[in-house]
Amino acid sequence: MSRTRTSLTLAVGLVLADSSVVVLALPEIYRELDVSVGAVTWVLVAFNLVLAASALPAAHLARRAGPARVTCAGLAVFAVASLVCGLAGGIGLLIAARCVQAVGGAAAICGALELLPAVSGSEREAAVHWARAGTIGAALGPGAGGVLTELISWQSIFLLQVPMAAVLLAALLGAARREARPRAIEAEIRPSGRPHLPANAALALVSAALAAALFLVVLLLIEGWRMSPIAAAATVSVVPLAAFATGRLELDAIDGAARATAGVLLLAGGLAALALLPSATVLATIAPQLLVGAGLALTLEALTEEALEGRAPQAIHGGWTIAARHLGVVAGLLVLTPLFTADLDSQRADAEQAGTAALLDSRLDSTEKIALAQRLGERLEAEGDKVPVLAPAFEPLPEDPDERADAVELRARLQDELDRAATHSFSRSFGVAAGFALAALGAIALARGRPSL
């Protein structure tokens, strides 16, 4: 693989990883900046929304100003905005910088798609590399962000992007200088055909479903089951591993619509399995995540190839696919976030009622019950929206062996109630996300046999 092609694919992966890289850091961000879950969601929503809105203008700019120069300019803007994100001390500045990041990222990935055919040998091969880089980047994002958040800080996610973007920019400067020669750009200005609407509609629906796979799973692990960011990162690494392994399979001979259909079914099956989790058991999420990762690779690559096949210039139609994908992510986040927060409040209230009944029915003496109820109330209030760990409220445990056994049994029962409530509060959202994925089957059916132009 040439240095230019490597740099271009890494640039695409870097930008599209940014659409999901802060997922595991969101709980830390909203606690440190003292904002609500709904407010911090805009750190994700703003980036994806602006990326979707900027993709087509960036693609047109790449055709007229030169794709290498636009890619380099986009990486420069992305790097500066990443630095501001890492230094932001408030949610307003962080969200504003994320918007600027998205503008630069859109320029980088659309310019890269216009450049890739020349260094890949064909437009089809370029489309495959471009789609695969974006897929792997988006899937790797949460895990990478979780590791950095745990080992360093959430700010390090953005600060690390600065040298990474700078290195890629330096590697592409030569192509930008060559492009600046007279008449180097005019040959690239060609009429653009109509976008492949069914393929792009399917991409939007699949991406709305993926918002659950990449966002809700993380919140379930960290906020619901109280895992550390690095442990959650290890758990969700199943998705990119499955996506990478599936992408390595030689499936190009299989019809794109057939690959997309199989991918949607795998994705919907994985999300449905997450909706039916029986308890707060990490191992129970592994198989569903394997299905999601395989479905992600099959569906996004097949639909992106379908949307680009036979359409020139590729940057314009790549812009359409980016717009569709990230509008889908935004729609998924905006639909699913209020759904699971409402369910979390409802399930938590039910769990607290069940816990109160269990406390009253316990064999502890009345004085201990009253004292324990007060400590539990303080613990719930201190944790706010987060599902609490109740063990500290039971300390110190009674010295009498029988009373100690009763207290330990009650502690386990109350914590199980809360864990069950947290797990079930995500069920409806995962079910709705599976519905988004299945709805894409209709658009895929329309895409089959559609003429290229």
Q: What is the DSSP letter of 184?
A: S
Q: How far apart are CA 37 and CA 31, in angstroms?
A: 9
Q: How far apart are CA 308 and CA 327, in angstroms?
A: 18
Which residues, 6+ apart, have CB-to-CB distance to 73 below 8 Å?
A: 104, 107
**How much is the pLDDT for 187?**
43
Q: Write down the CATH number for the domain with range 3-180+194-343+425-447.
A: 1.20.1250.20
**How much is the pLDDT for 312?**
59
**How much is the pLDDT for 453?**
37
CB neighbourhood size of 182 (10 A) = 6
Residue 390: phi and psi, rounded to 5, are: -90, -10
Q: For the chain, what are the domain ranges? A: 3-180+194-343+425-447
Q: How far apart are CA 97 and CA 126, in angstroms?
A: 30
Render pLDDT for 92-127 as a digit per residue (tens, 0 to 9): 899 999 999 999 988 888 888 777 777 666 666 766
Q: What is the DSSP letter of 216?
A: I
435-436-438-441 Cα dihedral, nearest 10 degrees: 160
> Cβ(197)–Cβ(435) under 8 Å?
no
Whether the ω angle into residue 396 lies within 30 degrees of 0, i.e. cis, is yes
- For the chain, the straight-line distance linking the first and the last C-alpha, in angstroms and rounded, comes to 31
**How much is the pLDDT for 96?**
92
> Quick one: which H or E segment has residue 253?
none
> Cβ(213)–Cβ(239) under 8 Å?
yes
> Cβ(217)–Cβ(285) under 8 Å?
yes
Give every residue of the chain whose pLDDT is below 50, as ranges: 1, 182-190, 451-453
Where do we find the tokens 């271009």? Answer: 8
Q: How far apart are CA 316 and CA 264, in angstroms?
A: 25
> Cβ(360)–Cβ(366) under 8 Å?
no
* Tokens, residue 410: 């009650």
**How much is the pLDDT for 308?**
72
**How much is the pLDDT for 97?**
92
